[in-house]
Structure 1
Amino acid sequence: MKIKDRIALYFTLISTSMLLAVLCVVYFTFMKFLQADFFERLTDRTMVTAKLYLEADEISRDALSDVRHKYLQKLNGEVIRIYDNQNRATFIGDSAQYWTKATINAVRKKKHLQYKDGERQVVGIYYKDNQGDFVILAAATDQGTHNRLDKLLKIMLFTFISISIIVLLLSRWVAKKMLKPLKKFMEEVKKVGAKNLEFRVEESQTKDEIDLIAQSFNHLMEDLEQAFILQKTFVANASHELRTPLTRMMITAELALSKARDTKAYQTVIQSIVDDIENIEHMITGLLALAKMDLELIESQLSPIRLDELLIKIQKEWKQHKNLDLEIINHLTDNVAIIVSANLVLLQIALDNIIANAFKFSDNKNVSCHLVEETDLLLIKIIDQGPGIRASERDDVFKPFYTKAADAGQKGEGMGLYIANKILHLFNGNIKISAEQKSAFIISLPILKQ
């Protein structure tokens, strides 16, 4: 059974049960009220009978009977008896005993007695008169009450069935309306696949359970997307970062083996290979740290880093292949102000990726790097001489596997800027494209508080 139907059924059962309880209370209350009212009517008839027969001494018995039948409406199955102190029926023409002596004596003892005898209601009173002590008993069937209760029961049954149907239909409508966001959520979940892990279900502002489910699902999708991207990122970045030193090692080794050389030349070659292996080891360490993408694990590898020294190191490495114009602008006299907390290998990978991207899309023209201190942040502004990034692409260049290589005639995996952005976020940093200069990237990192 669907949740919608279960909610409608449970709500209907609860509502109809409460309605049934209320109707039963009303029915039995009304029934007791009518019974009590009929008992009072019977009591009144016994009192009237006592007044007519016992106190009106000068009127004959037949005349009293005529008055009684003329002015008192006869009840259904009505029987009235007056008993003297010998428990004999008297005054009324019908002298049948009708009630037992035990009942008559019970009335004498209790002074007033009322009870039900099957469908008949009986009232008895003890009446003391100058003529003696008498017991007056009256019984009748309250047919009017039975008729009223039958009609009331039919009305209540019709009302109960009608309201139950209305409640069921309304509860189904309410359940459908309440579960509409859940149905929409399920339809959106069906759209998720391996090819669109970036898809997110719509979150409402109701802050209800369905919204919490949507938030939890989106968080799960973020983790799955990151895990999926991480797998591709690691492969792409490993290929991206390790290809150059491996190629250099291979070329160096082949050149060394191409002809006989002296010991010093071999030592130089071996030292070069050792340096490349050491760089590869650092790269692998950084790539593994990046693959974890876990801030708690990264935090244990953070250390104070002077940005100016790191940029000078990067400049020397790039100067072997490119012409990197590095300009450091620092208005502070205390050099401690240009220290940040980061992982050295990862931060260099991020900066290298951004610089490599600048060289690639500026056709290997000069790239300048400016270091500026601003309030509690250090800004690194990397400017190239390329065509820049169009405004429509600025939100996409930091997405994984996004590349504009078709426009620039360049090859690439589309991972460089994504990796750089992820790394900088690990260190509470940020990267954006300058609003004033479309060929400039601005990197911001918080200054390490001493």
Structure 2
Amino acid sequence: MNLSIKNRIAFISTILVALLSFTIFISIYQSLKISSFSEIDEKLEFEANKHFNELIFEKDSVYFAYPEELLEREHLEIEVYPIYIELVNTNGKLLVKSENLKNERIVNETFSTKKIIFNSQVLEEPLRQIQLNLIKNNQHYGHLGIAVSTEDTLSVLQNLKQNLIAIYPFLLFITFFASRYISKITIQPLTKIADTVEIISASNLNLRVKEINGKDELSVLSKSINSFLDRIHTSIEKEKEFTANASHQLRTPLTAIKGNLEVLLRKKRTVVEYKESIEETIDRINRLNLALDNLLMLARLDEDAKQLKKTKINVIDIFNSKIKLFKAQIKEKELRIILDEKLTSPILETNVYFLKIILENLMSNAIKYSEIKHPIKITLEEQSNFIKISISNKGGNLKEEDVNSIFEIFHRPKDTTEKGHGIGLALAKKAANLLGYQIKVKLNNQTTFVLYIPN
């Protein structure tokens, strides 16, 4: 059965109300019935005690002390509160009977208990009666039966029953349509969310569902959907960015490689010329591979950040390993690396992979743009709220106008003759942001990159 959500809610609500109201109606009916019959039983108990005290027991006989007054009193009360009285001896012989019984009898001699209250019927009228076995001084004298009509009580109970039965379907009808209307209002925000999500496509990923205030399930759902759309949007934007970046980086070197090969095919060359052209092509391919590796690393950083794990590492060991990595470049430019460490402890708790990306790119940048035979100074010092790592070099012709854009991808300082793609510093900056670190550039007769690591 394919029902809409509002109809399902209304249907379930109706079933629950049906069960609950049925239970309540039965409870009301039974409670009133028990209460009504309890009042009747109390009245019968009272009448039985009163009449028992008016009895006189002599030898083998029993009789009322004032039978004329009794019958006259019952006659006066018959229209207001009819009471049926019957007194019989041990042989079942009728001794006294109220006139309203006419030819009927109410005493049931089969009951052997001292006192019993039960329902009966006389002259087609329902009765509630009490019967006493008259025992005094361990001698049985007979039976006394006293009854009252329960016709009015049963009539009230019957009317209540009919009214409850009449109300029941009407109540369920109201419940169904009220629940349906309320559920329609309740899920209206959900419908709007569905309508908004339906029109979102790759061309309008900036659209978002209207968030619902509060802390209920619909509020959580709207925020979760927007968060999901943000992640999709970010992922697609990264894909677009990667595609654009890769296209930007591949087009120029591939064009150059193609040009070199076409030139080689135009005419025969000497072995030396072939060798030079092939070496140039290999160099371009190596640079192309490096650019692609950096682009892939840049695109992968956000995903790696989701499983960001921190471990303890000696930062001096990282610098020593990077110095070994760039040993050839350092030797070629006759550079000196000065490591000035002023830390209480060089042990940092961080993500080693990201920190290595940052330091490797900063060192690579310093070595690449450093003047020949000039020192590169690396300073590590501890301040109140952070650890400060500075890497300084002289050279590179970095201008003040370049400082604000130096970390942008593919940015290259003007008038630079150094080979590169403008990806390394962007990679370092992104890794620093993911770790919650800061990188700043200072220019003062030399270029200094400063990394701030919070304690």
Query: CA 1:57 to 1:134, structure 2 compared with 1: closer, same or farther past 3 Å?
Result: closer
In 2, distance between residues paired with 1:298 and 1:147?
Answer: 77
Secondary structure, counterpart of 1:26 in structure 2: helix
Q: Would the aligned equivalents of 2:85 and 2:98 in 1 still touch at CA under 8 Å?
A: no
In 1, distance between residues paired with 2:306 and 2:151?
Answer: 89
Do structure 1's residue 251 and structure 2's residue 259 form an aligned pair?
Answer: yes
Q: Would the aligned equivalents of 1:290 and 1:346 in 2 still touch at CA under 8 Å?
A: no
Secondary structure, counterpart of 1:39 in structure 2: helix
1:28 aligned partner:
30
Query: CA 1:93 to 1:12, structure 2 compared with 1: closer, same or farther past 3 Å?
Result: closer
Number of corresponding residues: 387
Do structure 1's residue 209 and structure 2's residue 217 form an aligned pair?
Answer: yes
Q: Would the aligned equivalents of 2:135 and 2:141 in 1 still touch at CA under 8 Å?
A: yes
Q: Would the aligned equivalents of 2:200 and 2:207 in 1 still touch at CA under 8 Å?
A: yes
Shift, 1:30, TM fit: 1.4
The sequence identity of aligned pairs, in percent, is 18
2:294 aligned partner:
286
1:224 aligned partner:
232
Q: Would the aligned equivalents of 1:88 and 1:97 in 2 still touch at CA under 8 Å?
A: no
Q: 2:109 aligns with which of 104, 107, 119?
A: 104
Which string of whole-angstrom CA distances, capped at 9 and with x for unpartnered residues, describes residues 48-103 of structure 1? 55555758989775554223312465656x643210122101133879885598x3
Query: CA 1:162 to 1:260, structure 2 compared with 1: closer, same or farther past 3 Å?
Result: closer
2:120 aligned partner:
117
The 5 A counterparts of 1:43-442 are 43-50=45-52, 54=56, 61-62=67-68, 64-71=70-77, 73=79, 75=81, 79-92=84-97, 98-99=104-105, 103-106=108-111, 109-117=112-120, 119-128=126-135, 133-154=141-162, 156-157=164-165, 167-168=175-176, 171-172=179-180, 174-204=182-212, 206-256=214-264, 261-292=269-300, 294-295=303-304, 333=340, 341-343=355-357, 376=387, 424-427=429-432, 428=434
Letter in 2 for 1:425: K
In 1, distance between residues paired with 2:274 and 2:358?
Answer: 31
When you count strand as a share of all residues, which structure comes out higher?
2
Query: CA 1:199 to 1:85, structure 2 compared with 1: closer, same or farther past 3 Å?
Result: same
In 2, distance between residues paired with 1:19 and 1:342?
Answer: 71
Secondary structure, counterpart of 1:21 in structure 2: helix
Query: CA 1:67 to 1:104, structure 2 compared with 1: closer, same or farther past 3 Å?
Result: same
Q: Would the aligned equivalents of 1:185 and 1:201 in 2 still touch at CA under 8 Å?
A: yes
Query: CA 1:7 to 1:373, structure 2 compared with 1: closer, same or farther past 3 Å?
Result: farther
Secondary structure, counterpart of 1:190 in structure 2: helix
The worse-fitting range, judged by mean Cα deviation, of 236-245 and 147-156 is 147-156
Secondary structure, counterpart of 1:110 in structure 2: coil
Query: CA 1:35 to 1:420, structure 2 compared with 1: closer, same or farther past 3 Å?
Result: farther
Which string of whole-angstrom CA distances, capped at 9 and with x for unpartnered residues, describes residues 188-215 of structure 1? 2123112122433344453443344334
Query: CA 1:70 to 1:154, structure 2 compared with 1: closer, same or farther past 3 Å?
Result: same
Which string of whole-angstrom CA distances, capped at 9 and with x for unpartnered residues, describes residues 233-292 of structure 1? 343222210222222223334445555554433322222122112112222333444454
Q: 1:19 aligns with which of 18, 21, 32?
A: 21
2:41 aligned partner:
39
Root-mean-square deviation over aligned CA pairs: 5.7
Letter in 1 for 2:355: S
Q: TM-score under structure 1 normalisation?
A: 0.62
Q: TM-score under structure 2 normalisation?
A: 0.62
Secondary structure, counterpart of 1:86 in structure 2: coil
Query: CA 1:28 to 1:417, structure 2 compared with 1: closer, same or farther past 3 Å?
Result: farther
Which string of whole-angstrom CA distances, capped at 9 and with x for unpartnered residues, describes residues 207-229 of structure 1? 44334433443444344334433
Unaligned runs of 5+ in 2: 310-316, 330-336, 347-351, 366-377, 392-397, 410-420, 441-447
In 2, distance between residues paired with 1:96 and 1:59?
Answer: 22
Secondary structure, counterpart of 2:355 in structure 1: strand
In 1, distance between residues paired with 2:206 and 2:424?
Answer: 17
